[in-house]
Amino acid sequence: MRLNGWFPGRIKPLSHQSPISLYSSLRIGSLAAVFVAWKFSGPNFWQFVMIVTFAHYALAFLYSRRQFVAALSSLRTALPLALVTLAGYGMYVTKFPVAVFFGVHHIFNETYLLQREVYRDRAAETRTLRMAGMFFNAALYATILRHEPGLNYFGSSALFGALLVSSALFFYVLFKMRKRLSVRELIDSCIFEIASSLIVVFSLFRPFTFLHLVLYHILFWSVYPLSKLSKQGGAAVPVYVALHATAVPIAWLFAPAGPLASGEYYSQFYLWSFIHIAASFSLSTAQPGWVNWIFQPRAKKPFNLPASLPTGGVRLPEAVEV
């Protein structure tokens, strides 16, 4: 694959690498699964998403307990964790639009994981591209979910206008950086945004819902940790898969379609969604540096704790961020 002819002598060669990283392949695969769900899912789709989301929350807590211990180890980090968790609960009580709160979480994830996976150790060099990408991803998210409470406030015309401006800015910055990026880096930089733009087009025919993008998040984060787990060797991957296989049926038991159906299932989903997202600010580093400074002043990367910390016999990855 040769793109150098487009900009002679200005793009780093592809060499023997695949034209797209495993990370980007996972993002696109998860987005493609969301499209299939949008196209073919029935009226019980929302129950399925809630079931797998509850399982995700349970495993996220288990695999983040090192970070929890670290965050609670000093007042400087425990207080922000407590306050942001209370804020999440307060949003639930006051019926703050969950799509807006989740949007912040989603946009940080998409922007700063890309930085970590594609532009590692080049934060200063790619700062402008990162900011343009964040603006573009925010506009994509809001436009796709423009019918959701909290996002419908802005109106379709304003959101499509923001999408047009942000896309032009993003691709202009990406074009200006082409001399410093390989073909693979260029593709990784924009393939998700291009695919998301197609989702915007499809949304003109039938709306996507907040739960569709929750499904994207769950699918991505269910598979993304496998790379780190596989490097640990032993039973790390089988244990992770087995925990998923156990958590999903348990979550189904209490779903409206399950044998132990709970009338609180729907409200509990939203409660734990707010708490989960709020707590992630103290446990994840896939977010701006100033957020890490508030919640994780010691962390330029995920918390590193002594290997002797009890883990119940399960070898945990360095971080399974949520």
Domain ranges of the chain: 49-295
Residues ≥6 apart with Cβ < 8 Å to 108 = 134, 284, 286, 287, 288, 291
72/238 Cα distance (integer angstroms): 30
Would you tell me how many other CB atoms lie within 10 Å of the CB of residue 37? Answer: 18
Percent of all residues in the chain with a pLDDT value above 70, rounded to a whole number: 87
What's the pTM? Answer: 0.85
Residue 1: per-residue pLDDT? 43
Would you tell me how many other CB atoms lie within 10 Å of the CB of residue 265? Answer: 18
Percent of all residues in the chain with a pLDDT value above 90, rounded to a whole number: 66
pLDDT band at 298; cut points 50, 70, 90: low
pLDDT digits (tens, 9 = 90+) for 38-62: 999 888 899 999 999 999 999 999 9
Please state the φ and ψ torsions of residue 57, each to the nearest 5 degrees.
Answer: -60, -40
From 83-92, 175-184, 191-200, 244-253, the region with the lowest mean pLDDT: 175-184
Residues β-bridged to residue 182: 12
Whether residue 303 has pLDDT greater than 80: no
303/273 Cα distance (integer angstroms): 23
pLDDT digits (tens, 9 = 90+) for 229-251: 988 888 999 999 999 999 999 99
